[in-house]
Amino acid sequence: MNNQPHHSRERHIDSAALAASAIAAVLAVSLVKGPYYEGNFIVGVTLTVLILAYEISNQRTFAQTVALGGVLGLCSLLYLGYLADRFVFHTSPDADESSVSPILEVYFWLVVTIIFSVLDVLWFQRRARRKRSA
């Protein structure tokens, strides 16, 4: 009996679960008032590494690549927001609000989404195809 379809289906469930947990975590952490803090950085980097560990070697359609890039972009808001608040804007941890404006958050998300999507199409997907054909 061929287990390939079953394994493939499980892989997609894992991908959806990772994406959903990343989005939930990012939303939960980013809805807290105040500046970005060390916990944001840790959660953002951990989610990014977790997603890349499970997804980087999979073949994807272009839409899946952009979707994954978008989730990584959301994760990046946590660590880029922290880095910007602390080292660019020098925001006090006791401040009432982050110094990172909503438009800057959009730029962070967009840039990371585009960078990942381009890297994925040009490098990661080629590597995955070569690995499967070898």
Task: Count the domains in the chain.
Answer: 1
Q: How many angstroms separate the CA atoms of 131 and 82, rounded?
A: 37
* Structural domain range at position 46: 4-133
CA 51, chain centre distance (Å): 7
pTM: 0.79
Q: What is the pLDDT of residues 18-68, one digit of tens each?
A: 778 778 887 877 788 889 999 999 999 998 998 888 877 777 888 888 988
Q: What is the chain's Cα-based Rg?
A: 17
